[in-house]
Amino acid sequence: MSSVHLNVERKPSEQRLATDLYRAVWRWHFYAGLLVLPFLIWLAITGGIYVFKNQVDDFFHHELKSVTQASSPALPDGQLASAALATHPGVLVRYTPPPSSTRSAEALIATTGGERLSVFIDPYSARVLGSLPDGGSVAWTVRKLHSLKYFGSVARGLIEIAAGWSILLVLTGIYLWWPRGRSGGVISVRGKPEKRVFWRDLHAVTGVFVGGILLFLALTGMPWSVFWGAKVNQWANGQNYGYPSGVRVKIPMSEVKLSEGDNAAWSLLLAKVPQSGHEGHEGHEGHEGHEGHEGHEQSSAKAERLATGLPPSLTLDQAIAVFKRLGISAGYAVQLPKGSQGVYTASVYPEDIRQQRVIHLDQYSGRPLLDMSFADYGPVAKTLEWGINVHLGQEFGVFNQALLTAACLGIILLCVSAAVMWWKRRPSAGLGVPPLPSDLRVQRGGLAMLFLGGALFPLVGLSMLVMALADRIAFSSRNSQSKSY
């Protein structure tokens, strides 16, 4: 039974052209599925789990992240960080104050043994609850599996190629699904599971409902890709379309990128960190966040100041007091200054994208050097950040999670039904590649359109070129064509 459903009233030449076009599209749909299906199943499983990242970590790391609220107030953050360092000696890299009254504090420590540990502390007793390797929670492990980060840049490049082919898969699938005057297999499934038509219809109908979301996920996953995403980020942030124009203010900037110290938002991956200590040291004392500090210095601190030419740095408690006064949202993390020119950096990327914020403080005066929020982003950055937020299941709460979970299950069903459908129609020997068009000019025209799209995604375009050459070499003979679908 042929899947080419055409209007019998067409002229022979029109019908032949329509048949050839269908075959060309079907052939590339087959190749896209051949390349993408294993990746799609992997991405759907890991992505479906990561959508519930907070619930996953709360389940697996409950004893580290949750505490019982005490009647007494929480202890100072500096004391909690000191307790973590006493248990795991080293250098405090990042500190996250308790985001709520029932949550622990977290201190990232570069230990003397060469490890990077996230240490969790009870804010009411300063008792160390335990530790995890940096980025070693179950949710972060799933995220790195999702992006194939564990397997290097080559594997991540394959994910980028798979995302591009997924776009092709959806667009060609819509063309193949288009009713063309028929009713069966459009929004209903015919036959029984032992029949091939059942799997064909199940695949087509599932694709109609899932295809739009799959297309969205492929496009919104691209910003994090190893090649295309990096180039687009560089382009956007070389103009006024990306990260806030505030990073271009005329203050001394270091060569350190914000992303080197923490997991930054996509729009801030290339943002540089400013430098402390360029304000004229004798005038520091009156700046915001450091009022009256000079009058309370001990003689040893004064001697150190005279020896180095720099005022003493703010303590962690003093820096956090400034961040709180500036109104940063709960759940923020504080990066500690690196060296004499380093800054205190507070960053927060909550589920409410409008609350994204990064603040850099001069470590001596406590004066905000840069204060960037989502409202400051350029139009490209805002659009992509919104898409990423939906992709992560954060923008619309439970509805967002439920929609993506259903989509991931649908994608798995789409892949399984495609595999079963192919298995049932494959020839006894051979791959079962759909037939070539009788007029090869149709195939060449389709290739030209594919390569035009591939120019937007270079790695994908290169893979399409390789596939086109392989197709030409392996299936140049008409006798190699498979039986009709």
Give the pLDDT of residue 290. Answer: 37
301 or 461, greater pLDDT: 461
Tokens of 74: 């929480």
Q: What is the mean pLDDT of residues 292-316?
A: 55
Beta bridge mates, 347 = 333, 358
Report d(CA 183, CA 165) in Å as an integer: 29
Report d(CA 260, CA 172) in Å as an integer: 40
Beta bridge mates, 372 = 358
296 has a pLDDT exceeding 50:
no
pLDDT per residue as tens digits for the range 446-474: 777 777 777 788 888 888 888 888 887 87
Please state, for a pLDDT cut of 90, what percent of the chain lies above it: 50
CA angle 396–402–406, rounded 5-degree value: 135
A 10 A CB-CB count for 96 gives 20
Whether this model's pTM surpasses 0.85: no
Give the pLDDT of residue 238. Answer: 61
| Residue 279: band (very low, low, confident or very high) from pLDDT cuts 50, 70, 90 | low
pLDDT per residue as tens digits for the range 93-151: 999 999 999 999 999 999 999 999 999 999 999 999 999 999 999 999 999 999 998 88
**Going by C-beta distance under 8 Å and a sequence separation of 6 or more, which residues neighbour residue 256?**
272, 273, 338
394 has a pLDDT exceeding 80:
yes
Report d(CA 80, CA 84) in Å as an integer: 6
How far apart, in Å, are the Cα atoms of 172 and each of 27, 30, 31, 421, 437? 10, 9, 11, 17, 16
Tokens of 405: 């979970």
| Residue 283: band (very low, low, confident or very high) from pLDDT cuts 50, 70, 90 | very low
**Going by C-beta distance under 8 Å and a sequence separation of 6 or more, which residues neighbour residue 97?**
77, 105, 320, 332, 334
Report d(CA 50, CA 401) in Å as an integer: 10
Report d(CA 350, CA 72) in Å as an integer: 28
Give the pLDDT of residue 289. Answer: 36
Report d(CA 437, CA 432) in Å as an integer: 15
Q: Are strands 333-335 and 357-362 parallel, antiparallel or unpaired?
A: unpaired
**Going by C-beta distance under 8 Å and a sequence separation of 6 or more, which residues neighbour residue 435?**
23, 27, 481, 482, 484
| Residue 297: band (very low, low, confident or very high) from pLDDT cuts 50, 70, 90 | very low
Tokens of 273: 């960190």
Among 252-261, 355-364, 456-465, top mean pLDDT goes to 355-364
Q: Which domains does the chain have, with CATH numbers?
A: 12-51+145-225+396-480 (no CATH), 62-136 (3.10.450), 246-377 (no CATH)
14 has a pLDDT exceeding 80:
no
306 has a pLDDT exceeding 70:
no
- DSSP string computed for 392-409: TT-TTHHHHHHHHHHHHH
pLDDT per residue as tens digits for the range 167-214: 999 999 999 999 887 777 788 899 888 888 999 999 999 999 999 999
DSSP, collapsed to helix, strand or coil, labels residue 123 as coil
pLDDT per residue as tens digits for the range 66-77: 999 998 999 999
Average pLDDT, the chain: 84
E strand or H helix at 413: helix 397-425
Give the pLDDT of residue 310. Answer: 65
30 has a pLDDT exceeding 50:
yes
| Residue 9: band (very low, low, confident or very high) from pLDDT cuts 50, 70, 90 | low
pLDDT per residue as tens digits for the range 45-66: 999 999 999 999 999 999 999 9
